[in-house]
Amino acid sequence: MHVRGTVAGEVDVRSVATSYGESELAEVPLRPADDARNGESPARGDGGTATVADGRETTTVTLWNKWTESAELLEPGMELLVTNAKEEEYQGETQYATTGDSYVVVEPSFLVSVTSIRNWVECPRLYYLNKLSGVPLNYPVVKGTLVHEVFGDLLRGRDLEESIEARVEERGLQLGLLGETPAAVKEEIRENATAIEGWLEQGRLTEEDSWRSEQLLISETFGIRGRADAVRRGAPVELKTGKNLKKEPRFKDKVQAACYALLLEEHGGDVDIGTLLYTKNSALDRNEETGDLTPAKEFTMGDGLLKYVVRLRNEIAAMETAGDIPTGYEADAKCEYCFEQDTCMVVSGRLDQESKAGQIGQSLPDEELEYFDRFYRAIEDERREVHREYAKLWEQTAEERADDDRALIDLEFLEKRPLEGGRWELRAHNTGGANSKLREGDLVLASDGDPVRGSSELARIERLDDEIVITADEPVEVTRLDVYPSELTTDRLLVAMHDALLKGDDRRKEILFGRAKPAFDTIEETFIDNNDRQNEAVTKAVGATDCALIHGPPGTGKTYTIARAIRAMVERGERVLLSAFTNRAVDNALEALLEQLEDVIDEDRVVRVGSESGIRDDMEPYRLERAGDPEDRVATLQNAQVVAATTSTCGSRVMKEQAFDVALVDEAAQLTEPGTCAAINLAERFVLVGDHEQLPPVVRAENDLTESLFERLVDLHPEAGVMLDRQYRMNQRIQAFASNEFYDGQLRPATPDVAARTLDDLEGVSRDRLPESLQDPVSFVDVEGDRSQYTDSAEAARIAALIEAYEAAGLERSEIGVIAPFRAQVSEISTHVPDDVAVDTVDRFQGSSQEVIVVSFTATGSLEGPIFEDYRRINVALTRPKRALVLVGDAAALASDPVYERMLEWARR
């Protein structure tokens, strides 16, 4: 049976004399998991149940011999899983102990990647450095990736030359940045491919082989995930681009293969043979011991190796759970042979970390060390949240998961169609309501119903409506799609923070930490002649030698100001990076910029970097295509004077090779500090534009990431900031509340026309035709709600009637927007109102505006709940309309909070 639970106290490790001699044992007090679903977990295929019988009381699990090493890692509160345990009666109590078939897994829901384990076995410090500073663009890595892709193609039956041609073409941009020519790269790949082909031929001659390539595997039991290069007859095959003339495979390569063996074991395999394919070994190289010419090395993976791998994995999981930083002493690697030695010493020196390699250089100032510590923790908190999302893949039932919007279930599989290159196009019919987080272009786990234990594939969504089209390596009879969680964003945040602190120049850090005041050059030019603050903002942005901060409340022409500033920079010959957190914000800013840049620079000197699915269709012509001739691709990017990309893309390998004079970050109040750093790290100076009175960054965990760099710098360097104070959007009556409540009364209409705008200005609309209660630009409709928690059908019905009234007064449906706090209420309202009325959450309405806005508060009785606590959300909701705003809600509930009460008074006037 399997035992799973939470460590309930201190672990006792000691030696005892047994009939086999001296043995080590560890006694772990364990509170068995009370989650009933645990019992269904099939884990390993021996039919055991996964949980200890009915109890909440603490029991004891004895871990024998080598497992005591994992026991030493345990802290109270950690999760523990022991497979194939035996039950023992001791002093009338039921206890458990490991058997010869047991595995001990620390924090099993923390999914460790195979690469992590491979790095860790070499040196835990190497694992840490990889995570912290990332791997820069370099040729050996790109070539390795290419060889793997070609290998995969060969296994799927693609023609060799065709594959090489296509794969090299796809990597044009990266190869160009590395200064490689296609002909030379192809030639090198051919050499590796010859070894692969020769080996494949051997296999075909001798027996029927069954092959799988690039299989993504997740183990719920061992807490490991990874992608096997290939699986032959159920056994892992690892491809290596390098040379190895020794008889034995490298140890870390064996460990990697053993990881896949564990993963395959959980998926029903039972193998003890691993194959490593060193494709640089050629016929000219003779194995020094065996004289063997083939590149393939087969080896046996014994029980001991597999268990050792799980113990390694436990070390990582325990360290990540505790939030520790490895020193290198955990391993017996020799630092003098390590090619990361210098980096390791510098990092430990700068961050004042204990390290086996020793320290070089001077430690960062205390405040920077403290900053590093705080943000390292915060980012790792986020990472743990991503890990919890992985765990939900098996902890949630399909229905729970679909409710969570992270999956589409009960699809009806329609057909499979082979594509060129051996991939497949799969089609399924979406039977349910398609209200999920999944979007076109996303990578998902496509499965036959169970993404972890069943057959599943990493697939890309090509089309998503009633009929779903995906592409994948294997023809899964897909009936379910799951979000595949990714640590990519977290990884990039960490690297961005590392770069800002360890690679950033000193002057930049003086500014970020408030040790110096931002400086400005004097600029005489007038950029905008009818709006002083906008002009001041452009002047500051252009003249800043360090940074400028532009605070732009709703409707104040933030986007125009940015575009004007960038134009001025471009005219001065500067290279500019335009960034924001979301693709939508980047595209909006770029759209305004293109208008400004007409006649200033050629269109082809403006480049949008990002994925095809992320970029808005009308910006597609500016998108940097990665595939193509290397020289040509790299010229397009280097020649660009303006590059636009999300902050996440700014952290990509390609973007990190780029340098700019200025980085301009829009919607900067929605960005975490490390997120902002990803963009500004690439430039000499920066301009942040945003409004910290609107919504803050979206983060998974409650931590230091919730305050933006923008907001912090506005406080730290008020003299670098300027607030745009004239708004071009709202009727005066509408803007009054937000102005007083959020902007100290400083926000005012830009012109008398704006102040006086009403629905009457719109063609064919007459306010007289509205009920009297709606004739004022701001009105309140008191609805006693239906008392349900996240929806309110009474409000929804009333809103439908309001929309009819506006239509009757001559408004187009497309001129009306409805905003609600909860997604559930958004879908409730959507069922009541016509399709062409925009209905969305407050959060998603940020950044846009409408002639008429109806707000559904969805609260009866009281205003309790986190969504109402952040007043910035009301600021966003109330500042979306131009000409009319209708608040719909329960007056009694709204009056229970002072801010909402003031809002009520204003609306009812």
Partner DNA sequence: ACTCTGCCCAGAGGA
Q: How far is the CB of 812 from DNA (least distance, A)?
A: 25
Task: Give the 3-state secondary structure of residue 761.
Answer: helix
Choice between 813 and 823, CB closer to DNA: 823
Q: Where are the beta strands (DSSP E) in 73-161?
A: 79-82, 86-90, 93-97, 104-106, 112-113
DSSP string, 484-532: ----HHHHHHHHHHHIIIIIS-HHHHHHHTTSS---B------S-SS-H
Q: How far is the CB of 125 from DNA (least distance, A)?
A: 12
Q: How far is the CB of 99 from DNA (least distance, A)?
A: 29
Q: Which of 57, 76, 90, 135 binds DNA (CB under 7 A)?
A: 135
Q: How far is the CB of 200 from DNA (least distance, A)?
A: 17
The yes or no reply on residue 667 touching DNA (CB under 7 A) is no
The yes or no reply on residue 773 touching DNA (CB under 7 A) is no
Q: What token pair was written down for 177?
A: 């940045």
Task: Give the 3-state secondary structure of residue 627.
Answer: coil
Neighbours of 586 (CB within 10 A): 28
- Binding to DNA (CB under 7 A) within 825-864 occurs at 840-841, 843-844, 864
Residues ≥6 apart with Cβ < 8 Å to 347: 129, 132, 133, 353, 355, 502
The yes or no reply on residue 384 touching DNA (CB under 7 A) is no
273-302 footprint of DNA as x/- string (CB under 7 A):
-------x----------------------
Q: Which of 145, 596, 740, 830 binds DNA (CB under 7 A)?
A: 145
Which long-range contacts (C-beta less than 8 Å, at least 24 apart) are formed by 195-202?
A: 195/277, 195/278, 195/279, 195/280, 195/281, 195/282, 195/295, 196/150, 196/151, 196/154, 196/239, 196/277, 196/279, 197/154, 197/160, 198/294, 198/295, 199/277, 199/294, 199/295, 199/296, 200/154, 200/155, 202/294
Q: How far is the CB of 31 from DNA (least distance, A)?
A: 21
Q: How far is the CB of 407 from DNA (least distance, A)?
A: 14
Tell me which stretch binds DNA (CB under 7 A): 52-60, 110-118, 368-376, 719-727.
Answer: 110-118
Choice between 419 and 488, CB closer to DNA: 488
Tell me which stretch binds DNA (CB under 7 A): 5-13, 182-190, 357-365, 607-615.
Answer: 607-615
Partnered with residue 686 across adjacent β-strands are 547, 663
The yes or no reply on residue 487 touching DNA (CB under 7 A) is yes
Task: Give the 3-state secondary structure of residue 308.
Answer: helix
Q: What is the DSSP letter of 624?
A: -
Q: Which of 7, 30, 147, 759 binds DNA (CB under 7 A)?
A: 147
Q: How far is the CB of 155 from DNA (least distance, A)?
A: 14
The yes or no reply on residue 243 touching DNA (CB under 7 A) is yes
- Binding to DNA (CB under 7 A) within 611-630 occurs at 611, 614, 626
- Binding to DNA (CB under 7 A) within 156-195 occurs at 170
Choice between 611 and 848, CB closer to DNA: 611
Task: Give the 3-state secondary structure of residue 375.
Answer: helix
Residues ≥6 apart with Cβ < 8 Å to 284: none
Q: What token pair was written down for 864?
A: 């309790």
Read off φ and ψ for residue 471, nearest 5 degrees: -120, 140
Choice between 752 and 866, CB closer to DNA: 866
- How far apart CA 260 and CA 255 sit, in angstroms, is 9
The yes or no reply on residue 570 touching DNA (CB under 7 A) is no
Does an H or E element contain 60, and which?
strand 59-64
Q: How far is the CB of 385 from DNA (least distance, A)?
A: 9
Q: Which of 66, 186, 227, 623 binds DNA (CB under 7 A)?
A: 227
Choice between 249 and 554, CB closer to DNA: 249
Tell me which stretch binds DNA (CB under 7 A): 21-29, 265-273, 437-445, 593-601.
Answer: 437-445
The yes or no reply on residue 698 touching DNA (CB under 7 A) is yes
- Binding to DNA (CB under 7 A) within 803-822 occurs at 821-822
Which of 669, 657, 648, 663 is closest to 546 using CA atoms?
663
The yes or no reply on residue 391 touching DNA (CB under 7 A) is no
The yes or no reply on residue 250 touching DNA (CB under 7 A) is yes
Tokens 């192809």 label which residue? Answer: 186
- How far apart CA 46 and CA 84 sit, in angstroms, is 8
The yes or no reply on residue 608 touching DNA (CB under 7 A) is no
Q: How far is CA 148 from CA 116, 144, 229, 239, 449, in A?
A: 19, 6, 7, 7, 29
Q: How far is the CB of 219 from DNA (least distance, A)?
A: 11
Which of 35, 34, 16, 33 is closest to 25 using CA atoms?
16
Which long-range contacts (C-beta less than 8 Å, at least 24 apart) are formed by 408-413?
A: 408/432, 408/434, 408/436, 408/438, 408/468, 408/480, 408/481, 409/449, 409/479, 409/480, 410/479, 410/480, 411/468, 411/478, 411/479, 411/480, 411/481, 412/479, 413/477, 413/478, 413/479
The yes or no reply on residue 335 touching DNA (CB under 7 A) is no
The yes or no reply on residue 340 touching DNA (CB under 7 A) is yes
The yes or no reply on residue 657 touching DNA (CB under 7 A) is no
- How far apart CA 546 and CA 680 sit, in angstroms, is 11
The yes or no reply on residue 785 touching DNA (CB under 7 A) is no
Choice between 126 and 734, CB closer to DNA: 126
Choice between 66 and 388, CB closer to DNA: 388
CA-based torsion, 517, 522, 527, 533: positive or negative: positive
Number of residues that bind DNA (CB under 7 A): 71
- Binding to DNA (CB under 7 A) within 718-737 occurs at none
Q: How far is the CB of 717 from DNA (least distance, A)?
A: 27
- How far apart CA 499 and CA 688 sit, in angstroms, is 19
Q: How far is CA 19 from CA 26, 877, 907, in A?
A: 18, 74, 84
- Binding to DNA (CB under 7 A) within 252-271 occurs at 256
Choice between 138 and 431, CB closer to DNA: 138
- How far apart CA 205 and CA 477 sit, in angstroms, is 31
Task: Give the 3-state secondary structure of residue 565.
Answer: helix
Q: How far is the CB of 29 from DNA (least distance, A)?
A: 27
Residues ≥6 apart with Cβ < 8 Å to 718: none
851 within 8 A of 763, measured Cβ to Cβ: no
The yes or no reply on residue 114 touching DNA (CB under 7 A) is yes
Q: How far is the CB of 561 from DNA (least distance, A)?
A: 21
Q: How far is the CB of 751 from DNA (least distance, A)?
A: 32
The yes or no reply on residue 449 touching DNA (CB under 7 A) is no
- Binding to DNA (CB under 7 A) within 501-560 occurs at none
The yes or no reply on residue 240 touching DNA (CB under 7 A) is yes
Q: Which of 23, 65, 94, 115 binds DNA (CB under 7 A)?
A: 115
Q: How far is the CB of 707 from DNA (least distance, A)?
A: 15
Q: Which of 128, 484, 527, 737 binds DNA (CB under 7 A)?
A: 484
Q: How far is the CB of 793 from DNA (least distance, A)?
A: 16
Residues ≥6 apart with Cβ < 8 Å to 231: 211, 212, 213, 215, 237, 260, 264
Tell me which stretch binds DNA (CB under 7 A): 27-35, 581-589, 595-603, 879-887.
Answer: 581-589
The yes or no reply on residue 241 touching DNA (CB under 7 A) is yes
The yes or no reply on residue 326 touching DNA (CB under 7 A) is no
Partnered with residue 82 across adjacent β-strands are 3, 104
Choice between 534 and 646, CB closer to DNA: 646
The yes or no reply on residue 219 touching DNA (CB under 7 A) is no
The yes or no reply on residue 140 touching DNA (CB under 7 A) is yes
- How far apart CA 341 and CA 152 sit, in angstroms, is 34
The yes or no reply on residue 351 touching DNA (CB under 7 A) is no
Pairing state between β 3-7 and 21-32: antiparallel
Which of 699, 724, 757 is closest to 553 using CA atoms?
724
Q: Which of 94, 294, 489, 793 binds DNA (CB under 7 A)?
A: 489
The yes or no reply on residue 456 touching DNA (CB under 7 A) is no
